[in-house]
Amino acid sequence: MAIRNIRRMGEDVLRKTSKEVKEMTPRTQILIEDMFDTMYEAMGVGLAAPQVGILKRIVVIDTYEDGECFVLVNPKIVQRDGEQTGDEGCLSMPGKIASVTRPNHVICEALNENMEPIVVEGEGLLARAICHECDHLDGILYPDVANESMRDIEIEE
């Protein structure tokens, strides 16, 4: 188990296009494990490899709903339907949120940690997380597609 350093908005690595994963190596398996550890430690619902400084097309997602925990290697969103508008955050911009409109339903083709093809269908939060994390692989951050400027999260007491 290893927690990696999460890169913050403003760092160049978050603006680069990540490369496809050609084969699963022990090094990449460790990266995936570390990405889950790092995401859970930061209490996030998703993390993309460039957020830990690695330009590989890998994302991890866990919405904390049953069966909604995945690693997606070389993900491609092949279908988008509907619309949802709601607040979104990112571990690379801690303490901030903004309203983002996303599809309410997506179908995503990817490979799993064994490089086997999988199809993930997501609605609501899972659809939002898939879109957000896939954007990271192309250097897109949510403020680029948000309906407003980022604002501070208000802490309710």
Quote the least distance from Cβ 15 to Ni ion, whole Å.
Answer: 13
Quote the least distance from Cβ 23 to Ni ion, whole Å.
Answer: 26
Catalytic residue status for 157: no
Q: Which is nearer to Ni ion, 114 or 147 (CB)?
A: 147
Residue at shortest CB range from Ni ion? 90
Q: Which is nearer to Ni ion, 24 or 96 (CB)?
A: 96
Sheet holding 96-102, edge to edge: 84-88, 96-102, 151-152
**Residue 20 one-letter amino acid:** E
Binders of Ni ion among residues 51 to 110 (CB under 5 A) are 90
Q: Which is nearer to Ni ion, 100 or 110 (CB)?
A: 100
Residue tagged active-site, from 68, 88, 109, 133 = 133
CA distance 63 to 92: 18
Q: Which is nearer to Ni ion, 8 or 22 (CB)?
A: 8
Closest to 127 (Cα-Cα) out of 111, 106, 98: 106
Quote the least distance from Cβ 70 to Ni ion, whole Å.
Answer: 15
Closest to 35 (Cα-Cα) out of 26, 47, 43: 47
- Judge whether 85 and 109 are in contact, CB under 8 Å: no
How many residues lie near Ni ion (CB under 5 A)? 1
Quote the least distance from Cβ 92 to Ni ion, whole Å.
Answer: 6
- The torsion defined by the Cα of 133, 138, 141 and 142, in degrees rounded to 10, comes to -60
CA distance 76 to 19: 13
Active-site amino acid positions: 133
Interface residues toward Ni ion, by CB under 5 A:
90
